[in-house]
Amino acid sequence: GGRTGGRSAMGESEGLVSVDYEVFGRVQGVFFRKYTQGEAKRLGLVGWVQNTSHGTVKGQVQGPTARVRELQDWLRKIGSPQSSISRAEFSNEKKITVLEHKDFQILK
């Protein structure tokens, strides 16, 4: 920190990233998507979340790196109150210059 002037606030460390995720465990029928959307919105992230046919929840999240890391941590450890997460996998992480989604949606 320590630098003055807000112009360089978006430094290299605060660039935007896009990450795909899939969460395994008891994550369907426990409002997992609703809570994921709520957490993502709280962090100011965009993307989507949906149930898969094989009992997992998957999606994509985009936003400032530090915030995306927070959601990754949440997906790995917390989830919705009734959920039981066995593991979360993240893939296709890449730096992006603009957000590709307008908000965080629950897909059917």
List all residues 6 or more positions away from 32 whose beta carbon is below 8 Å from its beta carbon: 23, 49, 57, 79, 80, 83
Choosing from 7, 26, 42, 51, which is the catalytic residue?
A: 51
Answer yes or no: 92 catalytic.
Answer: no
12: left (phi over 0), alpha (psi -120 to 50) or beta: alpha
| Catalytic residue status for 69 | no
Q: Given the residues 3, 7, 26, 33, select the one marked as catalytic.
A: 33
Let me know the angle formed at the C-alpha of 106 by 100 and 52, rounded to the nearest 5 degrees. Answer: 105
Tell me the catalytic residues: 33, 51
